[in-house]
């Protein structure tokens, strides 16, 4: 595989991230970028040896976005492709590690896709399209749920009959590729807490939190689906199941309408009535926008306390992903709510938004560590294809 490249695809509901790596997964990517705004004003942004390239593209869906990436001169697929690596959000109870994709694997992913309707179907569209366009090139599926499969039973189960658990109704946890990266990155970026008890907060349009003990997941805010836990951009987060019954029984909503509502019309967008973008909400003086931000902050802090209980204590905290890496205000407000645990914000360090953001005399440290899901996918893909 010398001189060849691995191409990584990270498909979201309205974006497609991509990167090409040499077969050394620790080397910088050869080229990377994303197509965003898919379905409405899509644009492709790419960085590589020739600099940064940005242009409008035709991309009404993820498959079309994939074709746009394929067509870019000197893009990720311009070289000799040794294999593709894909982020798959939900692997269900059986797919608990990265695997080389075959027809049986595809069938298993499709079987659990209703549990991740925003993510699994578009990722499969991209994977299948590339299989057709590049026959014979292997594909590796890397699962967000896999990182959490070692949870103890008390964190893995719901209080429901065991036969449903055996059918796969359990708490899976998500954003596992991100947490896997953070667990490794702490060894150099935050060595004082890397082997300790850490609450990691992946805060973006999709948001979750994870309890890491010595780099291993022992609990997570998300459960059976990526609807659970924290309020998100357009997703509700934790919700009394009686609300769903009420919507169906009293308002006559169909299952499809309830699903669309919970995934697309709730969270920060639904609560504020304004936007799912935390930046817009922070800039607004509308009462509901302010409430949505405070609700988000409140539940991050509340979940941090719960995850500390899961670990029997806490030695530090890490913020990552879009909001976690870039929102000075959200980080400061969360840590202010957690002062009772021993966090004291260093305002200039927090404003810089990199490394340790707590004061020298803070009893507990907090860090900002940028995540890199694509690199984790590259590592797992190369490990399988080079074995």
Q: Confirm if 109 and 146 have CB atoms less than 8 A apart.
A: no
Q: Confirm if 230 and 292 have CB atoms less than 8 A apart.
A: no
Q: Read out DSSP for 146-211?
A: GGGTT--HHHH--SS-HHHHHTT-S-----HHHHHHHHHHHHHH-TTTTTSEEEEEEESSSEEEEE
Q: Which helix (H) or strand (E) holds 348?
A: helix 347-352
144 is catalytic: yes
Q: Which residues contact 153 (CB under 8 A, 6 or more apart)?
A: none
Whole-angstrom distance, CA of residue 114 vs CA of residue 124: 13
Angle between helices 120-133 and 62-70 (to 10 degrees): 40
* Residue 63 three-state SS: helix
In 127-188, the DSSP E strands lie at 139-143
Beta bridge partners of 182: none
Strand 5-11 with 81-88, pairing: parallel
Q: Confirm if 31 and 74 have CB atoms less than 8 A apart.
A: yes
**173 DSSP assignment:** -
Whole-angstrom distance, CA of residue 143 vs CA of residue 221: 17
Catalytic annotation, pick one of 144, 156, 276, 346: 144
Please provide the size of the chain in residues.
387
Instruction: Name the strands in the sheet holding 216-220, side by side, starting at the edge strand that comes first in the sequence.
Output: 216-220, 207-213, 197-203, 316-320, 366-368, 355-356
Phi, psi dihedral angles at 213 (to 5 degrees): -120, 115
Q: In which region does residue 169 sit, left (phi positive, over 0), alpha (psi from -120 to 50) or beta (all else)?
A: beta
- Supply the residues annotated as catalytic: 144
């Amino acid at each position: 595989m010398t001189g060849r490249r691995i191409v990584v695809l990270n498909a979201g509901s309205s974006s497609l991230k991509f990167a090409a790596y040499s077969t050394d997964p620790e080397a910088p990517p050869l080229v990377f970028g994303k197509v965003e705004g898919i379905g409405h004003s899509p644009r492709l942004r790419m960085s590589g040896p020739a600099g940064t390239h940005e242009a409008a593209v035709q991309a009404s869906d993820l498959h079309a976005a994939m074709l746009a990436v394929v067509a870019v001169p000197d893009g990720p697929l311009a070289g000799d492709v040794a294999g593709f690596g894909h982020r798959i959000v939900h692997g269900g109870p059986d797919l608990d590690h990265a695997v080389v994709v075959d027809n049986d694997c595809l069938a298993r992913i499709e079987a659990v896709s209703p549990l991740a309707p925003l993510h699994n179907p578009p990722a499969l569209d991209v994977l299948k399209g590339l299989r057709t366009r590049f026959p014979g090139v292997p594909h590796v599926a890397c699962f967000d749920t896999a990182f959490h499969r070692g949870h103890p039973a008390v964190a893995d189960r719901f209080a429901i009959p065991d036969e449903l658990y055996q059918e796969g109704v359990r708490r899976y946890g998500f954003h596992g590729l991100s947490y896997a990266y953070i667990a490794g990155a702490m060894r150099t970026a935050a060595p004082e807490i890397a082997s300790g008890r850490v609450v990691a907060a992946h805060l973006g349009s999709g948001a979750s939190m994870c309890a890491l003990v010595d780099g291993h997941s022992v609990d997570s805010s998300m459960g059976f689906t990526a609807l659970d836990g924290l309020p998100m951009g357009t997703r509700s987060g934790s919700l009394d199941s009686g609300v769903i019954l009420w919507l169906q029984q009293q308002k006559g909503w169909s299952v499809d309408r309830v699903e669309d509502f919970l995934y697309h019309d709730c969270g920060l967008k639904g609560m504020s009535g304004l936007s799912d973008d935390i930046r817009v909400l922070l800039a607004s003086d509308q009462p509901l926008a302010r409430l949505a931000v405070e609700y988000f902050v409140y539940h991050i802090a509340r979940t941090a306390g719960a995850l500390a209980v899961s670990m029997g204590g806490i030695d530090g905290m890490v913020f990552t992903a879009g909001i976690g890496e870039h929102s000075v205000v959200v980080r400061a407000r969360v840590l202010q709510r957690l002062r009772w645990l021993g966090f004291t914000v260093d305002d200039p360090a927090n404003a810089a938004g990199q490394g340790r953001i707590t004061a020298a005399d803070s009893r507990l440290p907090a860090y900002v560590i940028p995540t890199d899901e694509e690199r984790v996918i590259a590592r797992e893909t190369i490990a399988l294809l080079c074995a």
